[in-house]
């Protein structure tokens, strides 16, 4: 699809993050470990603070259509790793490679910031997301049992990683 742009959100963009993140959590409780009920309580400052880590949004014109975040790990022994989080594309925009574009944005960020391993987790029943991550070069390395509890049901989480060739 043409006309999709991806850019990093800055702290002043917190309202953009709030709108699309709350939509993702509300519409897809089965896809995330985080809960809408927790995030909806955040203050403006909480949302701004979320943007101190790299977060990228996809836009179609001026409409926000997708989201991805990255948590670079602190500390000299773990700074080569980062966790991919908050992956979401609006339902009417899916199947156009927008998630792939968002994954490429975090990959580029990793390359430019000396991060040589990306990691993520996907709830075990989320086959669409799992296929996306496989296609993007992620490999499964484990499974956490009973990772979340949703409406009385427990769901496992599959952990995946992908090496990144960093710029030297
Ligand atoms: C998972 C999710 C982010 C994927 O977003 P997306 O933008 O549709 O992803 P892509 O378009 O890159 O890929 C989706 C499908 O479209 C296909 N596709 C990609 N580009 C395409 C194109 N240009 N034309 C046609 N099909 C295309 C892909 O092959 C893929 O097919 P498959 O699922 O049958 O393998 C989205 O479904 C979503 O937000 N789901 C709800 C929340 C969620 O599960 N988040 C992940 C939490 S771990």
**Residue 102 three-state SS:** helix
Q: Which residues pair with 161 in a beta bridge?
A: 119, 139
> Among the atoms of ligand 1, which is closest to the Cα of residue 132?
13
Alpha-carbon dihedral 57, 100, 95, 22, rounded to 10 degrees: -30
Name all domains of the chain by residue range, CATH numbers in brackets. 4-163 (3.40.630.30)
Mean pLDDT computed over 74-84 = 97
**How many angstroms does the Cα of residue 97 sit away from the middle of ligand 1?**
6
Tell me, using a 6 A CB cutoff, whether residue 142 lines ligand 1: no
> Among the atoms of ligand 1, which is closest to the Cα of residue 120?
48
What is the Cα–Cα distance from 108 to 113, expressed in whole angstroms? 9
Q: 69-75 contacts: CB < 8 A, separation 24 or more?
A: 70/106, 70/109, 70/110, 70/118, 72/113, 72/115
Tell me, using a 6 A CB cutoff, whether residue 68 lines ligand 1: no
pTM: 0.96
pLDDT given for residue 2 in this prediction: 81
Which tens digit of pLDDT belongs to each residue from 25-78? 999 999 999 999 999 999 999 999 999 999 999 999 999 999 999 999 999 999
**How many angstroms does the Cα of residue 20 sit away from the middle of ligand 1?**
17
Tell me, using a 6 A CB cutoff, whether residue 155 lines ligand 1: no
What is the Cα–Cα distance from 14 to 148, expressed in whole angstroms? 27
**How many angstroms does the Cα of residue 142 sit away from the middle of ligand 1?**
23
**How many angstroms does the Cα of residue 79 sit away from the middle of ligand 1?**
29
């Amino acid at each position: 699809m043409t006309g999709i742009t991806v850019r990093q959100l800055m702290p002043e963009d917190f309202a953009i993050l709030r709108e699309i993140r709350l939509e993702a959590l509300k519409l897809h409780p089965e896809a995330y470990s985080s809960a809408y009920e927790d995030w909806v309580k955040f203050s403006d400052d909480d949302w701004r603070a979320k943007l101190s880590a790299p977060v990228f949004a996809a836009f179609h014109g001026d409409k926000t259509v997708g989201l991805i975040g990255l948590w670079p790990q602190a500390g000299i022994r773990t700074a080569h790793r980062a966790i991919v989080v908050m992956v979401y594309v609006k339902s009417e925009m899916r199947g156009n490679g927008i998630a792939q574009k968002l994954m490429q944005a975090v990959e580029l960020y990793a390359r430019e910031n000396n991060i040589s391993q990306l990691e993520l987790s996907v709830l075990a029943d989320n086959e669409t997301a799992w296929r996306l991550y496989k296609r993007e070069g992620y490999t499964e390395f484990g499974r956490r049992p009973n990772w979340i509890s949703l409406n009385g049901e427990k769901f496992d989480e599959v952990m995946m990683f992908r090496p990144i060739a960093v710029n030297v």
